[in-house]
Amino acid sequence: MQFSEGQTVVYPHHGPATVVQIFSRTVKGAEISYLKLEVHDSKLSVSVPVASADQVGIRAVLDATSMDALFDVLRAPTVDEETKWSRRMKDNQEKIKVGDIFTIAGVVRDLTRRHDDKGLSLAERDLLRHAQGPLITEIALSLGIATDAAETALHDALASGATTGSAKSNSAAA
């Protein structure tokens, strides 16, 4: 991926960030190019070697096609999940830790539906709130809308998929 100063990128573990500067340092006699990123929410400044950006997971904000795919994930049927909340919690934490926005969308979808159907433990409710943050931010950045509108779009997508998702889950169980 090519980077330029002023570009908005997504850093999986910190959220959206702006490329403030591209600079070089000499490390062990080798010239290494770095990105200096300023994280939007926390104003945290992070330097990442350009060569490691893909490995770290730094990526561009989703385009229109990818955003459609994200909404498709949110509307998709619920995936079979662990019945014990502690194992389900651990599985979902691992999925979120990966930082893939589509995986996070699946976790949010499944936790939201479980919350609506059977309820969630306190820890799972906290995890759901935590997981919604990156999705709302991504939707807002990609669509160029306010955070409140992005949150509404997220909930609308989850609600529109809930009826079809639940029906498919119930018919599959029968």
Given a contact cutoff of 8 angstroms between Cβ atoms, the answer to whether 75 and 160 are in contact is yes
141 or 41, which is more confident = 141
pLDDT (tens digit per residue) in 149-166: 999 999 999 998 765 444
Query: Across the chain, how many H-helices and E-strands are there?
Result: 6, 5
> What letter would DSSP give residue 84?
S
pLDDT (tens digit per residue) in 95-115: 988 888 999 999 999 999 999
Distance CA(96)–CA(15), nearest Å, equals 13
* Long-range contacts formed by 68-72: CB under 8 A, 24+ apart: 69/102, 70/101, 70/102, 70/105, 70/135, 70/138, 70/139, 71/157
pLDDT (tens digit per residue) in 28-62: 999 999 999 999 878 899 999 999 999 888 999 99
H or E stretch at 159? helix 147-173
C-alpha gyration radius of the chain? 18
Residue with tokens 């070089």: 24
Banded pLDDT at 173 (limits 50, 70, 90): very low
